[in-house]
Chains A and B, each alone.
Chain A
Amino acid sequence: MACIEARGLRKAFGSTVALDGIDLRIEEGRIVGLIGPNGAGKTTALNAILGLTPYHGELKVLGRDPWKERDQLMRDVCFIADVAVLPRWLRVSQALDYVEGVHPRFDRAKAEGFLAKTTIKSTSKVRELSKGMVTQLHLALVMAIDARLLVLDEPTLGLDILYRKQFYDSLLNDYFDRSRTILVTTHQVEEIQHVFTDVMFIDRGRIVFTCSMEEFESRYLEVTVHPERVAAARALKPMHERQMLGRSILLFDQVDRQQLTALGEVRTPSIADLFVAVMGNHSGVAQNKDKYEGVTR
């Protein structure tokens, strides 16, 4: 059974189309990065998956209709939204009590174990914790729930690099066990691309690119071309070309590595490079391209 299956998923806010007919299938046991520019429909897509917003089209999450069965679905699905959403008046001990009280799959000892590794005191209120600590608390709660799908929407936004790294390390080491599925959206792609098993690019409410990381690594190559070989390189039909420090960097899809080695330095591109290439080729996103190059370089 697919963990998430969508066909023709649409959602409009007034005249603004947020999701323009999304088809996707995410198998269980995958860690999928959903990547797209601001306003591409990432959060709307996640909200539909989590039963927070109604939609048109077909959507099944763990075999359930999220809009109609949200409370049932939440026994098997956890999510952390873009910024810390734990109420500020809540005490750490109360958070544990509450989740233990309402969630049949919550393992309190496990959550306490995670918290013991942090400096968070059980008597503290959320308002007294730093943003990084609130995220740690939320993660401790979520990781102690034996869920089948975890959805993270920009979970590390506004955290410093130490917390960000720690966040994904604990997720991988203490949580992911290959039967769970994790769906992540983030702008800090390069930091966590090693975590993904699959990536999806979303733009203007459509999935414009889907690929597993194995496929990604074998298909795409980036070459910093020797100046005198540029013409020859261009003849091989790169999917994208950019300039850096006066040299041309060309991105190729399914071109023989031997052939490319003769043209210059060959390496596997980062997801961010591929994102810029795909988005650049996708009509009418030139303005985003510049922005993303700025962000990801």
Chain B
Amino acid sequence: MNTPSNAVPGSPLDLQPNAPAVVSATRPIYWSIRREFWENRYLYIAPLAVAAVFLFGYLISVIHSPDQLRALVALISAHHHEEISGPFDISAALLMGTAILMSVFYCGEALHGERRDRSILFWKSLPVSDVTTVLVKASIPLLILPVLVSAVTAVMYLLMLLLSSVVLLGTGGNVAMLWAHVPILQMSLLALYHLVTAHALWPAPVYCWLLLVSGWARRATFLWAVLPIVAIGGLEKLAFNTTHFANLVGSRFIGATAPIASTTDVFPTNPMTHITPAAFLGAPGLWIGLGIAAIFLAAAVRLRRYQGPI
């Protein structure tokens, strides 16, 4: 029973190098993103489910009182503009809330789950670097979710508009007027702008902090993520009786202080002219936040190199 034991080490045949294999740098990135969607199916199920529920509700409302819609469209003026676009704004706000929730939960789990179920040993057995893994995970809340959710928003806008049009046609309303006053392309672009600026780039340090803690904590990641903030905020309150730190973190988190538009009301149906991308990009707060986020990510990459299963 010693069949294979007569291999001669170091014979010329044994030293045949493997053919050089090339894999483009983008392939591991692409497949790492796919992996995140396989693992976290809620990333696409949740926004679709929210959109579906909202559409269903909207369907009931327009069928239930078609005359109201017709009357609204007939009365369209600057004054009634908000009433006609109201449901559209609410739907967009719901989806944005979903995006924020998903980002928070995703980041709190991202580097924890693979350690808990020991699968980190499988992922690390493949030629994908820690940098790629961590950056792909960070890109989910910072880039991919905003784009995905605004795409869902756009599709939902379109379906709502089509639905309204059908009902209007049935009741003899003015469809052209409706389409003229609900500019869904512009509204969708505004949703994208809002999501990327106020809910991804501005709160980037919050998401990256969560990612870092998820890669560090053995359990109770959210507790460890929130505890230092509560501690610092409490200390400040006791020592100086001020709440600057808590305000700073809170405003970052909900994107309230982001200088993304010239009005405080930045709902998507506002005209495009109100947005201030230059002011946003020029805000020191954005770049300071991104710098801090980058430090957190670098720490997360370093941690993942050292971390094994828990």
Residue numbers of A with Cβ under 8 A of B are: 1, 27-31, 47, 50, 52-54, 70-76, 78-81, 83, 85-91, 94, 97-99, 101-105, 138, 146, 148, 172, 176, 178-179, 194-197, 213-214, 217
- B21/A29 in contact, CB under 8 A: no
Say whether B28 faces chain A, with CB atoms less than 8 Å apart: yes
**20 A-B Cβ contacts within 8 A?**
A27-B9, A31-B5, A31-B7, A52-B308, A70-B124, A70-B129, A71-B128, A71-B130, A79-B121, A81-B122, A81-B125, A85-B120, A90-B39, A94-B38, A101-B27, A101-B30, A102-B32, A102-B126, A172-B3, A195-B4
- Closest chain B residue to A30, Cβ basis: B9
- Chain A residue numbers with a CB within 8 Å of B127 are 71-75, 102-104
With contacts A29-B11, A78-B125 known, what are 5 further pairs, Cβ within 8 A?
Answer: A28-B14, A75-B127, A81-B122, A179-B14, A194-B2
Report B13-46 residues with CB < 8 Å from chain A CB: 13-16, 18, 21-23, 27-28, 30-32, 34-35, 38-39
- B4/A197 in contact, CB under 8 A: yes
- B306/A54 in contact, CB under 8 A: yes
Residue numbers of B with Cβ under 8 A of A are: 1-11, 13-16, 18, 21-23, 27-28, 30-32, 34-35, 38-39, 114, 117-122, 124-130, 132, 305-306, 308-309
- Chain B residue numbers with a CB within 8 Å of A29 are 7-11, 14
- A102/B125 in contact, CB under 8 A: no
A72 shortest CB reach to chain B, Å: 7
- Closest chain B residue to A212, Cβ basis: B5
- Expressed in whole angstroms, the Cα–Cα distance for A2 and B200 within the complex equals 49
- A85/B126 in contact, CB under 8 A: no
- Chain B residue numbers with a CB within 8 Å of A101 are 27-28, 30-31, 34
B301 shortest CB reach to chain A, Å: 12
A248 shortest CB reach to chain B, Å: 27
- B18/A30 in contact, CB under 8 A: no
- A98/B34 in contact, CB under 8 A: yes
- Chain A residue numbers with a CB within 8 Å of B2 are 194, 213, 217
- A52/B1 in contact, CB under 8 A: no
- Chain A residue numbers with a CB within 8 Å of B39 are 87, 89-90
- Chain A residue numbers with a CB within 8 Å of B5 are 31, 194, 196-197, 213-214
- Closest chain A residue to B11, Cβ basis: A29
- B18/A105 in contact, CB under 8 A: yes
- Chain A residue numbers with a CB within 8 Å of B122 are 81, 85-87, 138
- A97/B119 in contact, CB under 8 A: no
- B125/A97 in contact, CB under 8 A: no
- Expressed in whole angstroms, the Cα–Cα distance for A54 and B308 within the complex equals 12
- Chain B residue numbers with a CB within 8 Å of A94 are 38
- B27/A176 in contact, CB under 8 A: no
B1 shortest CB reach to chain A, Å: 4
A280 shortest CB reach to chain B, Å: 26
- B15/A28 in contact, CB under 8 A: yes
- Expressed in whole angstroms, the Cα–Cα distance for A63 and B261 within the complex equals 56
B49 shortest CB reach to chain A, Å: 19
- Chain B residue numbers with a CB within 8 Å of A30 are 7, 9
- Chain A residue numbers with a CB within 8 Å of B11 are 29
- A146/B15 in contact, CB under 8 A: no
- B13/A103 in contact, CB under 8 A: no
- A31/B16 in contact, CB under 8 A: no
A28, A54, A73, A101: residue with the most chain B Cβ atoms closer than 10 Å: A101
A91 shortest CB reach to chain B, Å: 7
- Closest chain A residue to B15, Cβ basis: A28
- Expressed in whole angstroms, the Cα–Cα distance for A44 and B291 within the complex equals 36
- Closest chain B residue to A88, Cβ basis: B117
- Chain B residue numbers with a CB within 8 Å of A80 are 125
- Expressed in whole angstroms, the Cα–Cα distance for A76 and B127 within the complex equals 9
- Closest chain A residue to B118, Cβ basis: A85
- Expressed in whole angstroms, the Cα–Cα distance for A185 and B119 within the complex equals 20
- Expressed in whole angstroms, the Cα–Cα distance for A217 and B38 within the complex equals 51
- Expressed in whole angstroms, the Cα–Cα distance for A80 and B125 within the complex equals 8
- B10/A102 in contact, CB under 8 A: no
- Chain B residue numbers with a CB within 8 Å of A87 are 39, 114, 117, 119, 122
B66 shortest CB reach to chain A, Å: 45
B229 shortest CB reach to chain A, Å: 30
Q: For the complex of A and B, list the 5 residue pairs with the smallest distance between their C-beta atoms, beginning with the closest.
A: A104-B21, A101-B31, A27-B9, A194-B1, A87-B119
- Expressed in whole angstroms, the Cα–Cα distance for A148 and B6 within the complex equals 18
- Chain A residue numbers with a CB within 8 Å of B129 are 70-71
A70, A196, A213: residue with the most chain B Cβ atoms closer than 10 Å: A70
B3 shortest CB reach to chain A, Å: 7
- B118/A31 in contact, CB under 8 A: no
- Chain A residue numbers with a CB within 8 Å of B9 are 27-30
B177 shortest CB reach to chain A, Å: 49
- B7/A74 in contact, CB under 8 A: no
- Expressed in whole angstroms, the Cα–Cα distance for A75 and B126 within the complex equals 7
- Chain B residue numbers with a CB within 8 Å of A79 are 121, 125
- Chain A residue numbers with a CB within 8 Å of B125 are 50, 74, 78-81
- Closest chain B residue to A148, Cβ basis: B18
- Expressed in whole angstroms, the Cα–Cα distance for A60 and B5 within the complex equals 25
- A102/B7 in contact, CB under 8 A: no
- A81/B35 in contact, CB under 8 A: no
